[in-house]
Chains A and B, each alone.
Chain A
């Protein structure tokens, strides 16, 4: 049955008025908003927005963390036939200019003073931006800028509007058609300016429901919403599927309490990009390194058992009786408490997506009894394309096409998708739309991959990033940078890595150490350090990283096709790669081309055989100030291994 988001809201409010729709932790208590309460709030907001002049087809910018009233604002816009445009709350002010101008945005609903300041800053560049409402008025008392008001005021205005125009809300919702535009998501874009991806109610709800059927989600599930709502992943899980299934979405108290809130809520359905799982594992690893010896011994014994038995157990394979008993003991002693500490006690289904996950990382979570699976999708496909079915999980594939999805691989090795969830197009950009969406209904994903014998999709890298080694010992070998980088990043000591090698004779890499993990490591060895830059160039740290790189090389050598990707030389960067400097996207993917250009000097030093290189870099702080970091970086040579296949 086709429907729209506001109609789904009214259905829930009619059928289960007193059931919880949203919870937000505030003042130390989880405060519940019922479906009835939410519907009333949305009606008030819609009335206020209508009175302010928001028209059918207009865009409403929404910026902030996951807050109930921001969700309600998105619903209110949709109820009026307007289109919510969530933007990344941690983006710099200048990054808002393009979407706001591009979509002729006149109204914005934002979370707090930080976001208000950003919008006021760019107001001269966005002449059409007339009204801004804020959720949290702290620090905004003395602002008297025109058009600035609190959401409370908007709600009050809306209540008055509703009293004067009874039936307006229901009539507005009735007018919306399922294939009207429901939302627009600006893709962060690893290259070029962002593009607005336009989705209809139909595309989003169809995919939300397909995903829900695949994993049998129901209104009894619980979700914690803590990733940016501007990211389609979070939006699907805590908005589209929330309304499609009617489960409870929980909003954490603040960004710094997410881990505590996760434990308190114990979500049953969980979704995070690999970096979050990576961060959690790093925390566990650090804490175990600090633990007393007997505890460490127990943990190591149990984890060894988990690695051996756990994955097979998760796959539903029969286990030997002894293994079953051993795992049960391990579960009582280590796995269950660990799951509880991580907040995963009740998780029935957990997904990771957005980037490839390191196999060891993936196996870690599955081995302690968490049903972590991978999925494949993007903003343009409304997320759900391929999902891993329970008990059929492989480390290196992203699962099978789910209902409604067709997949084929082009002659060039690119994955093509046909699905009811495809975007309507890029906003005001028919050229870009035509580039990815042919007349035949196939969407070009830009990913290189193939379907394996059992029908699972395997993604190697971005199609445009896969390159070739030219010259040297491995002439003509495949170069898959992300594959290498992910292998490096699995080590808790390595936070980011950037590999170079396309059309070159060997592979070289930049490495970012994980300040917390390496800092801890250094403190334990009584190795004094001043700053990130200082720590990164300590000989002992370089040696530590060299060992990690060598292990990756040994791993790569085991696969004949990838043996040519072994890293010959690397250096540890003097600063952390940062989205504020344009080196990462807002979803923390490395922008390889930009980095190669910005640090051209260092790349030349890597390939020119130099042993060290002085470098000076401008850095941009969060408040917009600019500083300089200078350092002399040592370049380290690494041992490479002969390909195992070839030697045999």
Chain B
């Protein structure tokens, strides 16, 4: 654990304001993410956690503020460019092709890395065959890593929810990201599935050195996994620090116990 979280800052979020019409989703949120750490964003429902994640990976454009990723500052970003900079994410409500097999779903994560075009791929012309083999190798490594060999050929829609979440993680990992954004990776899981997922998140962080930013509701999980935690409430940051610091923060306690605003 000592090796983790001591790295340099690779993502800096400064004074972000995000409004949807009159609704202030985020106001003046500032925090940073260091290389190789597990950074959690927590907060009650509607606190702006998913919006924050969507700003980072370019789905939403904040009206004010800046995001600096690996030294490059930008205010206008699109998801593809973020992905090309090595940021992958998973989704709260899963973004998988239900009718496709586990293998094919994870293969879609390699899309950005494909150099041959769709026509070549369709008829396995020229380099397309070799390229597919190379990508398949990476994907098989991920399947092995996530221990889903038994479901390689199973359509994703037929899998239990906990496994679908794992496939979603696999699809994100297929990008070989430097930073992974996880939107509620354990929502709707039972205790055993949560334990499995926690282990995989720690293993990803450990084996691949991937920096992880995650949103999670389960406090026990967050406290166990994270190196540092940002707490949002009504779009404002009310706490930031190690799990112990956050736990003792009176603002955080009142936000979670439902004090009057």
Q: Is A539 an interface residue (CB 8 A)?
A: no
Partner of B143, one of A28, A141, A256, A260: A28
Q: Assess the A253–B203 pair: CB atoms within 8 A.
A: no
**B143 — which chain A residues lie within 8 A by C-beta?**
27-28
Q: Is A139 an interface residue (CB 8 A)?
A: yes
CA distance A253 to B136 in the complex (A): 17
Q: Assess the B150–A141 pair: CB atoms within 8 A.
A: no
Q: Assess the B152–A28 pair: CB atoms within 8 A.
A: yes
Q: Assess the A27–B203 pair: CB atoms within 8 A.
A: no
CA distance A28 to B149 in the complex (A): 8
CA distance A164 to B140 in the complex (A): 38
Interface hits, A1-60 → B, CB 8 Å = 26-29
Interface hits, B133-168 → A, CB 8 Å = 136-137, 140-141, 143-145, 147, 149-150, 152
Known A139-B203, A141-B206, A141-B207; judge A27-B147 contact (CB<8 A).
no
Known A27-B140, A28-B143; judge A257-B207 contact (CB<8 A).
no
**B206 — which chain A residues lie within 8 A by C-beta?**
139, 141-142
CA distance A370 to B152 in the complex (A): 29
**B144 — which chain A residues lie within 8 A by C-beta?**
26-27
Interface hits, A137-164 → B, CB 8 Å = 138-139, 141-142
**B149 — which chain A residues lie within 8 A by C-beta?**
28, 253-254, 256-257
CA distance A309 to B144 in the complex (A): 45
B22-66 CB mask vs A (1 if < 8 Å, else 0) is 000000000000000000000000000000000000000000000
Interface hits, A148-194 → B, CB 8 Å = none
Q: Which 5 A-B pairs rank lowest in CB-CB distance, beginning with the nearest?
A: A27-B140, A256-B150, A257-B150, A28-B140, A253-B149
Interchain Cβ contacts under 8 Å between A and B, 8 examples: A26-B144, A27-B140, A28-B143, A29-B140, A138-B207, A139-B203, A254-B150, A256-B147
Min CB gap B69→A, angstroms: 27
**A142 — which chain B residues lie within 8 A by C-beta?**
3, 206
Q: Assess the B203–A254 pair: CB atoms within 8 A.
A: no
**B3 — which chain A residues lie within 8 A by C-beta?**
142
**B136 — which chain A residues lie within 8 A by C-beta?**
28
Min CB gap A329→B, angstroms: 31
Q: Assess the B150–A27 pair: CB atoms within 8 A.
A: no
Min CB gap A273→B, angstroms: 22
By DSSP majority rule, is chain B's interface helix, strand, loop, or mixed? Answer: helix
Whose C-beta in chain A lies nearest to the C-beta of B206? A141
By DSSP majority rule, is chain A's interface helix, strand, loop, or mixed? Answer: loop
Whose C-beta in chain B lies nearest to the C-beta of A252? B149
CA distance A344 to B140 in the complex (A): 27
Whose C-beta in chain B lies nearest to the C-beta of A27? B140
CA distance A141 to B205 in the complex (A): 12
Known A138-B203, A141-B207; judge A260-B141 contact (CB<8 A).
no
Whose C-beta in chain A lies nearest to the C-beta of B2? A142
A111-148 CB mask vs B (1 if < 8 Å, else 0) is 00000000000000000000000000011011000000
CA distance A253 to B151 in the complex (A): 12
Listed in ascending order, the chain A residues whose CB lies under 8 Å from chain B are: 26-29, 138-139, 141-142, 253-254, 256-257, 260
CA distance A254 to B141 in the complex (A): 14
Min CB gap A638→B, angstroms: 37
Q: Assess the B147–A254 pair: CB atoms within 8 A.
A: yes
Known A253-B149, A254-B150, A256-B150; judge A27-B141 contact (CB<8 A).
yes
Whose C-beta in chain B lies nearest to the C-beta of A29? B140
**B141 — which chain A residues lie within 8 A by C-beta?**
27
How many residues from B make CB contacts under 8 Å with A?
16
Whose C-beta in chain A lies nearest to the C-beta of B143? A28
Whose C-beta in chain A lies nearest to the C-beta of B199? A139
**B103 — which chain A residues lie within 8 A by C-beta?**
28
Q: Assess the A260–B150 pair: CB atoms within 8 A.
A: yes
Min CB gap A257→B, angstroms: 5
CA distance A138 to B145 in the complex (A): 9
CA distance A184 to B73 in the complex (A): 66
CA distance A616 to B207 in the complex (A): 43
CA distance A420 to B207 in the complex (A): 51
Whose C-beta in chain A lies nearest to the C-beta of B145? A138
**B137 — which chain A residues lie within 8 A by C-beta?**
27
**A256 — which chain B residues lie within 8 A by C-beta?**
147, 149-150
**A141 — which chain B residues lie within 8 A by C-beta?**
206-207
CA distance A141 to B207 in the complex (A): 8
Q: Which of B137, B150, B203 has the most CB of A within 10 A?
A: B150
Known: A28-B152, A142-B3; 11 extra A-B contacts, CB below 8 A, are: A26-B144, A28-B103, A28-B136, A138-B207, A139-B207, A141-B207, A253-B149, A254-B149, A254-B150, A257-B150, A260-B150
**A138 — which chain B residues lie within 8 A by C-beta?**
145, 203, 207
CA distance A26 to B152 in the complex (A): 12
Whose C-beta in chain B lies nearest to the C-beta of A259? B150
Whose C-beta in chain A lies nearest to the C-beta of B144? A27
CA distance A253 to B145 in the complex (A): 12
Min CB gap A300→B, angstroms: 27
Q: Which of A26, A28, A141, A142 has the most CB of B within 10 A?
A: A28
Min CB gap A405→B, angstroms: 41
Min CB gap A516→B, angstroms: 14
Min CB gap A21→B, angstroms: 23
CA distance A256 to B196 in the complex (A): 16
Min CB gap A615→B, angstroms: 25
Whose C-beta in chain B lies nearest to the C-beta of A623? B195
Whose C-beta in chain A lies nearest to the C-beta of B138? A27
Interface hits, B207-227 → A, CB 8 Å = 207
**A257 — which chain B residues lie within 8 A by C-beta?**
149-150
Min CB gap A612→B, angstroms: 30
**A253 — which chain B residues lie within 8 A by C-beta?**
149
Min CB gap A460→B, angstroms: 40
Interface hits, B1-18 → A, CB 8 Å = 3
CA distance A254 to B149 in the complex (A): 7
CA distance A142 to B3 in the complex (A): 10
**B207 — which chain A residues lie within 8 A by C-beta?**
138-139, 141
Whose C-beta in chain A lies nearest to the C-beta of B3? A142
Q: Which of A27, A141, A253 has the most CB of B within 10 A?
A: A27
CA distance A302 to B169 in the complex (A): 45
**A139 — which chain B residues lie within 8 A by C-beta?**
203, 206-207
CA distance A229 to B240 in the complex (A): 52
CA distance A357 to B150 in the complex (A): 29
CA distance A602 to B63 in the complex (A): 70
B98-116 CB mask vs A (1 if < 8 Å, else 0) is 0000010000000000000
Whose C-beta in chain A lies nearest to the C-beta of B150? A256
Min CB gap A96→B, angstroms: 23
CA distance A139 to B149 in the complex (A): 19
Min CB gap A620→B, angstroms: 16
Min CB gap B140→A, angstroms: 4
Whose C-beta in chain B lies nearest to the C-beta of A137? B207
CA distance A138 to B141 in the complex (A): 12
Whose C-beta in chain A lies nearest to the C-beta of B1? A142
Whose C-beta in chain B lies nearest to the C-beta of A139? B203
Whose C-beta in chain B lies nearest to the C-beta of A253? B149
CA distance A254 to B207 in the complex (A): 20
CA distance A257 to B150 in the complex (A): 5
**B150 — which chain A residues lie within 8 A by C-beta?**
254, 256-257, 260
Min CB gap B153→A, angstroms: 8
Min CB gap B94→A, angstroms: 22
Whose C-beta in chain B lies nearest to the C-beta of A256? B150
Whose C-beta in chain A lies nearest to the C-beta of B152? A28
CA distance A254 to B144 in the complex (A): 9
Min CB gap A113→B, angstroms: 10
**A254 — which chain B residues lie within 8 A by C-beta?**
147, 149-150
Min CB gap B174→A, angstroms: 14
Whose C-beta in chain A lies nearest to the C-beta of B142? A27
CA distance A139 to B143 in the complex (A): 16
Whose C-beta in chain B lies nearest to the C-beta of A25? B149
Whose C-beta in chain A lies nearest to the C-beta of B148? A256
Whose C-beta in chain A lies nearest to the C-beta of B141? A27
Min CB gap B81→A, angstroms: 32
Min CB gap A359→B, angstroms: 32
CA distance A139 to B145 in the complex (A): 11
